[in-house]
């Protein structure tokens, strides 16, 4: 894993501007700083303007665990491609699976609700994203106990979910549901693009980072030894620098 | 009689191959001097444009070349600053390749001018075939 702003990273970034590349970004922790509650997450005006500037030159996508409706509320400017619920929303081929996912999530919500208040404090809550659930425990008074308690609850769910661990959150997806990696590949194919550049920060983004496809250049916000990403930046506020750099490189390539 | 016919066909085929090889060789030389890239170099750069950050092995597979043959071509392209070779971010023992700005410009220049060169090449080939019948080439070769 190398820092993106080294000679290697910059040269690879530049070489992406010579071909048809999809620029994709996670939302929480990437385009927006991590917030105390999911509802408090917002994109800054500066990041928003840079995303908009990039969209004027190249296809841009936001790939998130949030629902598309939720993403639209949070993005001041909505890029051409929004993928929600870890790939369940936003791709034409997933319409059928969303109906199934919705009924599965409703059943899970009912099962999880039983004895919830007795088991957890008010800092642990369920976020219903229609086609997936997110169990948050960031604001719990005892995060460790909350995490264990949530695992106990998840273990009993029927049908068993696919669990993706995030930063103080557990994402529950119906088994067989796509993940961000599949969604990104499908979007690339549908747009007939040669390469992709993906920036993410979370364990859910590892599904993209771990893709055995050299056409996808990956960047993690925050260095992590076990990550499969090729490059990293140290902090979320460096994402603006990435966006600025890409726009500059594309403009140079187009001779503007 | 049949053996003689087979031999004539073989000689004619070899003659055609030689002529084709000469035409390509000539076209390569003209392309390199006028457009800055040989046909092989163009092919490599074009493939690499859509595979930024790929390994030399993967590029060799994509262009249908043996990796050792590719190494020499790569060295020439690095010397011309048309491509870069860097350490693989995931494994420092491995290398990755990509196009430089110069490489991208060279590709565009080549793509803009190759059509007229190819046309000239075809005309040249037609003239050649009129002047010197194909069958005479194998004869010359056997005499050599």
pLDDT band at A51 (very low <50, low <70, confident <90, very high): very high
Nearest residue on chain B to A215, judged by CA atoms? B51
* B101/A253 Cβ within 8 A: yes
pLDDT for B97-118, tens place per residue? 999 999 999 999 998 888 777 7
A77 with A117, same domain: the answer is: no
- State the pLDDT confidence band at A31, using cuts at 50, 70 and 90: very high
Helix B39-49 × helix B56-63 angle, to 10°: 120
User: Is residue B136 very low, low, confident or very high in pLDDT (cuts 50, 70, 90)?
Assistant: low
Share above pLDDT 70 across residues of chain A, in percent, rounded to a whole number: 97
Q: A80 and A16: one domain?
A: yes
B141 has pLDDT over 60: no
Same domain, residue pair A121 and A168 = yes
Q: Kindly identify which residue of chain A lies nearest to residue B56, measuring between CA atoms.
A: A214
Please indicate, yes or no, whether residues A97 and A201 belong to a single structural domain of this protein.
no
Residue B142, pLDDT > 60, answer no
- In this predicted structure, the answer to whether residue B135 has a pLDDT above a threshold of 80 is no
The reply to whether A111 and A153 lie within a common domain is: yes
Comparing B6 with A136, which gets the higher pLDDT?
Answer: A136
Give the closest-approach CA distance of B63 to chain A in angstroms.
Answer: 16
Q: Which residue from B49, B50, B53 is facing A12, i.e. has the nearest CB?
A: B53
Show the 3-state SS of chain A: CEECCCHHHHHHHHHHCCCCEEEEECCECCCECCCCCHHHCCCCHHHHHHHHHHHCCCCEEEECCCCHHHHHHHCCCCCCEEEEHHHCECCHHHHHHHHHHHHHHHHHHHHHHCCHHHHCCCCCEEEECCCCEEEECCCCCCHHHHHHHHHHHHHCCCCCCEEEEECCEEEEECCCCCCHHHHHHHHHHHHCCCEEEEEECCHHHHHHHCCCCCCEEEEEECCCCCCCCCEEECCHHHHHHHHHHHHHHHHHHCCC
A79 & A150 share domain? no
pLDDT in tens, A72-112: 999 888 888 999 988 888 887 666 667 788 889 999 999 99
A60 close to A54: Cβ distance less than 8 angstroms: yes
Is the same domain home to A128 and A97? yes
**What pLDDT, on the 0 to 100 scale, is given for residue B139?**
54
* Judgement on whether residues A78 and A147 belong to the same structural domain of the protein: no
Q: The domain that contains A210 carries what CATH number?
A: 3.40.50.1000
Complex-level ipTM: 0.77
Tens-place pLDDT, residues A142-192? 989 999 999 999 999 999 998 988 888 999 988 888 889 999 999 999 999
- Residue-averaged pLDDT of chain A: 91
> How confident is the model at residue A96, as a pLDDT?
65
Residue B131's pLDDT band, with cuts at 50, 70 and 90, is: very low
Last residue of a domain, one of A173, A196, A223: A173
CATH number of the domain enclosing A130: 3.30.70.1020
**Chain B residues closer than 8 Å to A19 by CB:** 49-50, 52
Domain B2-143 has CATH 1.20.120.720: no
A84/A194 same-domain check: yes
Chain B residues 94-133 with CB within 8 Å of chain A: 96, 98-101, 103-104, 107
Residue ranges covered by each domain of chain B: 2-143
Judge: A9–B100 Cβ closer than 8 Å, yes or no: no
Residue A56 belongs to what domain range?
2-91+178-253
Higher model confidence: residue A30 or residue A131? A30
pLDDT tier for residue B81 given thresholds of 50, 70 and 90: very high
User: Which DSSP category does B81 fall into?
Assistant: T
pLDDT in tens, A185-208: 999 999 999 999 999 998 889 999
- pLDDT recorded at residue A164: 86
CB-CB: which of A1, A2, A253 is closest to B104?
A: A253
Mark whether A68 and A148 lie in a shared domain.
no
From chain A, the residues in CB contact with B49 under 8 A are 15, 18-19
Task: Please report the pLDDT score of residue A224 as a whole number.
Answer: 92
User: Chain A interface, mutation test: which of B48, B53, B106, most A Cβ atoms within 10 Å?
Assistant: B53
Strand pairing partners for A232?
A: A3, A220
Quick one: A152 and A99 in the same domain? yes
Closest chain B residue to A8 measured between Cα atoms? B86
Question: What element of type H or E holds B96?
Answer: strand B91-99
| pLDDT in the model for residue B129 | 57
Size of interface A-B (CB pairs under 8 A): 61
Is the same domain home to A19 and A76?
A: yes
Residue A16: closest C-alpha in chain B = B52
The predicted structure's pLDDT at residue B95: 93
Q: Which residues of chain A does B90 touch, with a Cβ-Cβ cutoff of 8 Å?
A: 1, 228, 230
Number of domains in chain A: 2
Distance between CA atoms of A99 and A122, rounded to whole angstroms?
Answer: 30
Q: Pick the residue with more confidence: A133 or A78?
A: A133
Domain endpoint, select from A147, A173, A199? A173
């Amino acid at each position: 894993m190398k820092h993106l702003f080294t000679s290697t990273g910059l040269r690879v970034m530049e070489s992406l501007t010579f071909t048809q590349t999809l620029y994709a970004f996670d939302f929480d922790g990437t385009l927006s700083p991590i917030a105390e509650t999911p509802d408090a997450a917002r994109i800054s005006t500066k990041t928003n303007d840079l995303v908009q500037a990039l969209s004027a030159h190249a296809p841009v996508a936001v790939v998130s665990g949030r629902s598309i409706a939720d993403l639209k509320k949070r993005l001041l400017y909505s890029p051409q491609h929004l993928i929600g619920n870890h790939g369940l929303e936003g791709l034409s081929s997933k319409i059928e699976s969303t109906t199934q996912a919705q009924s599965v999530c409703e059943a899970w919500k009912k099962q999880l609700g039983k004895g919830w208040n007795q088991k957890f404090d008010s800092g642990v809550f369920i976020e219903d994203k229609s086609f997936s659930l997110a169990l948050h425990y960031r604001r719990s008074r005892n995060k460790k106990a909350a995490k264990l308690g949530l695992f106990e609850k998840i273990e009993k769910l029927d049908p068993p979910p696919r669990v993706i661990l995030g930063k103080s959150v557990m994402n529950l997806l119906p088994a067989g549901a796509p993940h961000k990696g599949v969604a990104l590949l499908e979007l690339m194919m549908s747009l007939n693009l040669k390469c992709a550049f993906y920036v993410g920060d979370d364990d859910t983004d590892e599904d993209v980072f771990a893709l055995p496809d050299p056409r996808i250049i990956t960047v993690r916000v925050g260095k992590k030894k076990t990550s499969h990403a090729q490059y990293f930046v140290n902090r979320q506020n460096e994402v603006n620098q990435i966006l600025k750099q890409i726009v500059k490189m594309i403009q140079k390539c187009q001779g503007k | 009689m049949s053996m003689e016919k087979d031999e004539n066909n073989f000689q004619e085929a070899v003659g055609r191959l030689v002529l084709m090889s000469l035409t390509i060789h000539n076209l390569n030389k003209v392309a390199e001097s006028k457009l800055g890239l040989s046909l092989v170099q163009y092919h490599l750069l074009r493939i690499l444009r859509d595979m930024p950050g790929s390994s030399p092995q993967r590029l060799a597979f994509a262009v249908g070349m043996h990796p050792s043959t590719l190494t020499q071509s790569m060295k020439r392209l690095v010397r011309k600053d048309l491509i870069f070779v860097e350490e693989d971010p995931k494994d420092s023992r491995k290398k990755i390749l990509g196009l430089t700005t110069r490489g991208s410009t060279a590709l565009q220049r080549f793509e803009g001018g190759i059509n007229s060169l190819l046309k000239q090449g075809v005309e040249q080939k037609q003239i050649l075939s009129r002047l010197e019948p194909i069958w005479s080439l194998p004869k010359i070769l056997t005499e050599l």
